[in-house]
C-alpha cells in the first residue's frame, strides 16, 4: 500500500463536478491510500487562502503533495489556490481556452453557473420528476402511468426504486415502478393495469443469491428472504418478461448510473433535464 495521499475537490460551488471528475480519474490508479476532502463554496480570495492552508497542512502531514481537482471559474481565486503545495488540476483552465476559440466568444467567467439556477425549467422538471417517482413507487396507491416515460417492473428489491429516483433527479425522466408479486407471478399473466402501457415497460432482474442477501438484511430468515423463494420469483419474473417480449436487464453487478443509462438507451428515451 502506498503512503497516504490527500485529495481535494475545490469549487466555488457545490463541488459535485470536481468530485465526479476526480473520482473518475482516480479509479484509473490502483492501490492508493487516498483521503478525500471536498472544499465547496470557495468563492473569495479569503476563502481561497484558507483552502491553501488546508492543502499545505495535508502536504506536511502526508509527506506527499495532495492532488487538487478544481473547478474554479474566477481567475483571482484560482491564482491563489494554484500557489498551494499540490498537483493542481483545473478543469476550467484546461478546457475553456479551446472552447472559446471554437465557439468564437469569450467565456463569461461567471461564478456558480454549474449546478446553479441558470436553468429553472430543468430544475423544476427534476423536482417534479422526483415527486412523480416517489408517488408512483412500489405499492403506492397512485398509478399515474399515463404520464410515465418508463415503467420498471421486477421482483421486490431488484433495484427499481433507486433507479427510478436516479433517473428523475439526474435526467428529469418520469419513471414509475411496479413490483411483481406472487399473485402476478402465479397467474403468469401481465397485470391488467400494465396492459395499456406495454410499450413503456422495462424489466429489472437480479441473481437469486444476491437477491437473497439483500432480502436477508431486510427480513432475516423469512420466507421472503429464503433462497427457494428468491429462485422461484426470479425465474417466474424472467419467464413472464420473456413471454411478453419486455426487454430486461440484470442489475446484479451494475451501478445505479449504469442501469439508468442502459434503460434510457434501450428504450430510446432522451434526457429531459440537464444534469
**Residues from 40 through 59 that contact a copy of itself (CB under 8 A):** 40-41
Q: How far apart are CA 95 and CA 108, in angstroms?
A: 14
**For residues 25 and 79, which CB has a smaller minimum distance to a copy of itself in the complex?**
25
Check: CB of residue 12 under 8 Å from CB of residue 81.
no
Binds a copy of itself by CB under 8 A, chosen from 6, 77, 125, 130:
130
Binds a copy of itself by CB under 8 A, chosen from 23, 54, 143, 207:
23
* Sign of the dihedral through C-alpha 124, 130, 133, 136: negative
Task: Kindly state the smallest distance separating residue 243's Cβ from a copy of itself, in Å.
Answer: 28
What residues between 218 and 237 interact with a copy of itself by CB under 8 A? none
What residues between 70 and 129 interact with a copy of itself by CB under 8 A? 71, 73, 87, 89, 91-92, 94-96, 98-99, 102-103, 105, 107-110, 113-118, 123, 126-127
**For residues 222 and 255, which CB has a smaller minimum distance to a copy of itself in the complex?**
255
The yes or no reply on residue 1 touching a copy of itself (CB under 8 A) is: no
SS3 label, residue 172? coil
Check: CB of residue 42 under 8 Å from CB of residue 10.
yes
Q: How far apart are CA 275 and CA 272, in angstroms?
A: 9
**For residues 166 and 240, which CB has a smaller minimum distance to a copy of itself in the complex?**
166
Check: CB of residue 70 under 8 Å from CB of residue 81.
yes
Pairing verdict, β 4-11 and 67-71: parallel
What residues between 145 and 174 interact with a copy of itself by CB under 8 A? 159, 161-162, 165-166, 169-170
Binds a copy of itself by CB under 8 A, chosen from 49, 82, 134, 227:
134
Binds a copy of itself by CB under 8 A, chosen from 4, 32, 62, 191:
32
Check: CB of residue 102 under 8 Å from CB of residue 109.
no
Task: Kindly state the smallest distance separating residue 197's Cβ from a copy of itself, in Å.
Answer: 23
**For residues 106 and 146, which CB has a smaller minimum distance to a copy of itself in the complex?**
106
Q: How long, in residues, is the chain?
A: 275
**For residues 88 and 190, which CB has a smaller minimum distance to a copy of itself in the complex?**
88
Cα 50 off chain centre by: 31
Give the cell for residue 18.
470536481
Which is nearest to 200 in space by CA: 155, 136, 255?
A: 136
Q: How far apart are CA 237 and CA 89, in angstroms?
A: 48
Q: How far apart are CA 91 and CA 89, in angstroms?
A: 6
Task: Kindly state the smallest distance separating residue 9's Cβ from a copy of itself, in Å.
Answer: 10
What residues between 243 and 262 interact with a copy of itself by CB under 8 A? 253-258, 260-262
Amino acid at each position: 500500500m502506498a503512503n497516504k495521499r490527500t485529495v481535494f475537490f475545490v469549487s466555488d460551488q457545490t463541488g459535485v463536478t470536481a468530485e465526479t471528475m476526480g473520482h473518475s480519474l482516480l479509479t484509473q490508479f490502483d492501490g492508493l491510500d487516498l483521503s478525500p476532502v471536498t472544499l465547496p463554496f470557495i468563492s473569495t480570495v479569503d476563502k481561497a487562502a484558507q483552502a491553501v492552508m488546508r492543502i499545505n497542512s495535508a502536504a506536511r502531514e502526508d509527506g506527499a503533495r495532495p492532488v487538487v481537482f478544481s473547478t474554479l471559474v474566477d481567475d483571482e481565486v484560482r491564482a491563489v489556490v494554484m500557489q498551494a503545495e499540490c498537483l493542481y488540476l483545473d478543469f476550467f483552465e484546461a478546457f475553456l481556452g479551446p472552447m472559446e476559440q471554437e465557439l468564437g466568444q469569450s467565456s463569461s467567467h461567471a461564478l456558480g453557473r454549474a449546478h446553479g439556477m441558470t436553468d429553472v425549467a430543468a430544475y423544476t422538471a427534476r423536482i417534479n420528476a422526483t415527486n412523480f417517482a416517489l408517488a408512483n413507487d412500489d405499492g403506492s396507491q397512485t398509478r399515474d402511468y399515463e404520464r410515465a416515460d418508463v415503467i420498471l417492473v421486477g421482483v421486490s428489491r431488484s433495484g427499481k426504486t433507486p433507479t427510478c429516483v436516479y433517473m428523475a433527479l439526474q435526467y428529469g425522466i418520469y419513471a414509475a415502478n411496479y413490483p411483481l408479486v406472487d399473485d402476478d407471478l402465479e397467474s403468469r399473466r401481465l397485470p391488467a393495469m400494465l396492459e395499456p402501457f406495454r410499450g413503456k415497460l422495462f424489466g429489472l432482474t437480479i441473481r437469486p443469491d444476491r437477491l437473497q442477501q439483500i432480502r436477508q438484511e431486510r427480513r432475516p430468515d423469512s420466507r421472503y428472504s429464503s433462497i427457494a423463494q428468491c429462485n422461484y420469483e426470479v425465474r417466474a419474473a424472467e419467464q413472464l418478461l420473456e413471454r411478453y417480449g419486455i426487454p430486461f436487464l440484470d442489475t446484479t453487478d451494475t451501478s445505479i448510473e449504469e442501469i439508468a443509462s442502459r434503460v434510457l438507451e434501450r428504450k430510446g428515451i432522451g434526457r429531459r433535464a440537464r444534469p
